[in-house]
Structure 1
């Protein structure tokens, strides 16, 4: 949305109608200089206002065919004009940006488009796997996150691993990579999941089933994953699965900050969010307050953790050493860096897995019940294994993993991700990228490309993830071959190359454990028959949640 700003009428010259003459009439400035002092922001606002009016007039004078063509054209661009770029088309499609970009990319011979907006450098958006590999691997060093990306989410993520490049990124990556591969962490994660699911999630779902209550399954899963990530990352237990208790202030502030930070990148006039931040207005004022809450809460968690152990205790493998925060502090990370790392892990560990599970439960509870039955059939073949330990969950749930992959193909937890060219470059399809320009790869659109997935791309079909299947609708688990080794640049849901998601394996363990446990005992009936709306912020979610009725089908 385009936000229109006006000054409060505190004196005779602060109305919006006086801004333009102030720029051109020295006499007025001289008379009123005691009442109105021109600042760089005033000048910028005035210029922006004039530029916006000029843009509208230019768009009105443009040919109708150019203004109404919102599909692909030979220049790999949406309808674009001098100065304002694609502002008109962008604003027309602001409520359906994902679909609009997907349509443009599908019509492009090389699955690439160029987008120019007022106040922002050109953005190249691609759904071409060769380009994705070039950006994420071949020319990794030339396509860092970059300063423009850091500006967008820097207030929230600070110097955390998802928002930095170079040595700062490499050092955090090295430490986190070591921790993710430890056997103790894997066992700790599974034990944490067991406690959460058996001790908290099951009683909640049983109560909802007995009382025929409608619950928001997305909210339940978010609370579950928040509990889990806090135990694993911070060594704390917020106990959020009590739905009678309000969402903790940290979660509420986190969701507000993540939404506003994400919407900065989709503002039709790119510089407006910077102006709002400078003036501390509207959403930017709300963002500032939310981040202050986050910093206060996370800093307190870190201080409490520092008091709970000493480095000597940690080296002696105390009980507190299982969680990430303890290990980071013992490695010498503290202060703002430790805080920013915690924030990054909370964001990645909570929302992404909750989003994927929410969409899967909707898909298999509405129009793909045969997939749900196949998951249960697969689980029936491994019940003799006893508890769902780490190795069982990782090794023996191929069909469930295929269902999760198919879900994330259609509804990726991160819809798009951007890098910025450090130097001029040329992508494999021939597109030229200048230094400082943004290059965005687009998992949401890639999952909908006929050239990648075939004419049946819109169908939820877990069998496409197997080497062989007896036929397209075979529910016999034993007839399927092994899972395919899918090119990560075709399916970049977990990124790829040097920055591939470190938590990929842990994410699958968590999702498979929770879904397998729940689907063995419960059915969900969505209250609404309307397809849910996919909302792409820093991490995606289902608009309005997933309201369901719960039915218990038996004990595990």
Structure 2
């Protein structure tokens, strides 16, 4: 995204990657996940998201659910990773300069990859015009935001008692990392990973539920059966909802295309020769719609394909797929560390929303246009009306 944004966990390899992954892993311990769901997600849900949906239902107003969910995810990821609350999801839905800059930077960067020739965008960059001028401005805005967070965190560390802070950025600072560019890369990487992926997954999920009312009924039935559980235990035990989210991400993966660069010559299982330095792209979006992998009913939204009945009982268990068949969270050594956190967050949102409301798209019969940028978006947002569940 910028000349200095080279040191986040998505870009580094070798010992630096191992160090970052080890530090990140502490953020995703069971204790941290429970705190995240019961305090961060639950407070954002009950104090911000639910009141906004309640007001929309009472006034029969239209909400852009894609925007609302992005704001929700942004507040969440900032609070758990930096102990910083940007308060993007407040009743006025304030204009967030950083969020706009972030969206623009991702969109323009994605357009570079789709460009027929890099000559055009390189010329724009040289002349500082058009989209490349906007990209430069957006990157400066993003760095300004990251520096603000970093300076506030460093100020906290003047008080020795703050060294035991549990958020991710505090762990990096206390481990001896002081380089500003490196820490800004960490901030930007985490915001990208936590803001756009879960919000994209939930956006498409709520659309699919409207198109498949039988699935929605089963999820509501499961939610109502868990209403006496503690928050963390409730979401952990939502097996059918978990399967439904997996099925939704099979059809609409948050990251539709990804790639790796070979660090040595290799030969793929089908005999394809890959030379050192070559980039190999894989397409979770296409893989999720392949008959060879998912059968003739691949086009159907069927959560049951992720479930198996426990022998001798009526209970069902979740049946995970091979990550190389379902690489929504990547596979191998770089499999997503935030996978469990993402599912807990999404299931808590689903439970909180569907227990009280129905989400009704304004364009009842139309399928949204799938925009395959770095993360999957709906073109023009997701306008919905919120109805109280009776």
Question: What TM-score comes out, normalization by structure 1 length?
Answer: 0.67
Query: What is the alpha-carbon distance in structure 2 between the residues aligned to residue 177 and residue 499 of structure 1?
Result: 12
Could you say what secondary structure the match of 1:440 adopts?
Answer: strand
| Alignment-derived partner of residue 259 in structure 2 | 418
- 1:84-132 Cα shifts (integer Å, max 9, x gaps): xxxxxxxxxxxxxxxxxxxxxxxxxxxxxxxxxxxxxxxxxxxxxxxxx
Match of 2:184 in 1: 339
Asked whether the equivalents of residues 262 and 277 of structure 2 are also in contact (C-alpha less than 8 Å), the reply is: yes
For residue 355 of structure 2, the aligned residue among 520, 525, 535 is 520
- Pick closer, same or farther for the CA change 1:154–1:397 going to 2, 3 Å: same
Q: Note if contact 1:229-1:350 (Cα within 8 Å) is conserved in structure 2.
A: yes
In the TM superposition, what is the alpha-carbon distance from 1:436 to its structure 2 partner? 2.3
**After superposition, what is the alpha-carbon deviation per residue over 1:433-481, rounded to whole angstroms, capped at 9, x for unaligned?**
22322201110000000000011101000000012499xxxxxxx8452
Q: What's the counterpart of residue 22 of structure 2?
A: 174
Query: Contact 2:28/2:338 (CA < 8 Å) preserved in 1?
Result: yes
1:504 to 333, 339, 342: 339
Gapped runs of 5+ residues in structure 1?
Answer: 1-152, 471-477
**Inter-partner Cα distance in structure 2 for 1:234 and 1:247:** 21
Q: Distance in 1 between matches of 2:310 and 2:57?
A: 36
Contact persistence 1:413–1:539 (CA under 8 A) = yes
Equivalent position of 1:402 in the other structure: 243
Contact 1:353 1:413 (8 Å CA) reproduced: yes
Mapped to 2, the partners of 1:278 and 1:435 lie a distance apart of: 31
Where do residues 87-98 of structure 1 align in structure 2 (5 Å cutoff)? none
Q: CA deviation at 1:156?
A: 7.9
Structure possessing the higher radius of gyration over alpha carbons = 1
SS at match of 2:228: helix
Shift of 1:336: 0.9
Contact 1:421 1:434 in 2 (8 A): yes
3-state SS of 1:350 partner: helix
Distance in 1 of aligned mates of 2:206 and 2:154:
40
Structure 2 contact 27–166 (Cα < 8 Å) conserved: no
| Cα distance in 2 for residues equivalent to 1:391 and 1:203 | 24
Cα contact 1:466–1:484 (8 A) shared by 2 = yes
Is contact 1:189–1:232 with CA below 8 Å preserved after alignment? no
1:532 is aligned to 2:368: yes
* Structure 1 position 424, deviation (Å): 2.8
C-alpha distance 187-343 of structure 1, shift in aligned 2 (>3 A): same
Q: What is the rounded CA distance, in whole Å, between the counterparts of 2:250 and 2:3 in structure 1?
A: 30
Q: Deviations over 1:121-169 (max 9, x none)?
A: xxxxxxxxxxxxxxxxxxxxxxxxxxxxxxxx45484311112222222
1:135-214 correspondence to structure 2 within 5 Å? 153=1, 155=3, 157-181=5-29, 183-214=31-62
Answer yes or no: is 1:242 the counterpart of 2:90.
yes
SS of structure 1 residue aligned to 2:327 = coil
1:370 aligns with 2:214: yes
Shift of 1:350: 0.7
Contact 1:393 1:513 in 2 (8 A): yes
Equivalences for residues 112-511 of structure 1 within 5 A: 153=1, 155=3, 157-181=5-29, 183-310=31-158, 312-315=160-163, 317=164, 321-334=165-178, 335-365=180-210, 367-385=211-229, 387-388=230-231, 390-394=232-236, 396-468=237-309, 479=314, 481-511=316-346
Q: What TM-score, normalized to structure 2? A: 0.94
Does the Cα contact within 8 Å between 2:201 and 2:248 map onto a contact in 1? yes
Q: In structure 2, what is the Cα distance between the partners aligned to 1:205 and 1:251?
A: 21
The alignment status of 1:542 with 2:378, answered yes or no, reads yes
Deviations, residues 17-52 of structure 1 (Å, cap 9, x unaligned): xxxxxxxxxxxxxxxxxxxxxxxxxxxxxxxxxxxx
Distance in 1, Cα, partners of 2:70 & 2:38: 18
Tell me how far apart the structure 1 counterparts of residues 337 and 343 of structure 2 sit (CA, whole Å). 12
Looking at structure 2, the residues matched to 208 and 156 of structure 1 have their Cα atoms a distance apart, in angstroms, of 42
Check 1:422–1:279 CA distance in 2 against 1; reply closer, same or farther (3 A cut): farther
How many residues align? The count is 387
Mapped to 1, the partners of 2:32 and 2:272 lie a distance apart of 47
Say which SS state the counterpart of residue 383 (structure 1) adopts: coil
C-alpha change, 1:154 and 1:421, in structure 2 (3 Å) is: farther
CA distance change for structure 1 residues 185 and 375 in 2, over 3 Å: closer, same or farther? closer
Distance 1:172 1:351, change over 3 A: same
Query: Does structure 2 retain, via aligned residues, the 8 Å contact 1:403–1:462?
Result: yes
Do residues 551 (structure 1) and 382 (structure 2) align? Answer: no
Distance in 2 between the 1:407 and 1:156 partners? 36
Equivalent-residue separation in structure 2 for 1:430 and 1:154 (angstroms): 37
Give the Cα–Cα distance (whole angstroms) in 2 for the partners of residues 498 and 547 of structure 1.
Answer: 39
Alpha-carbon RMSD: 1.9
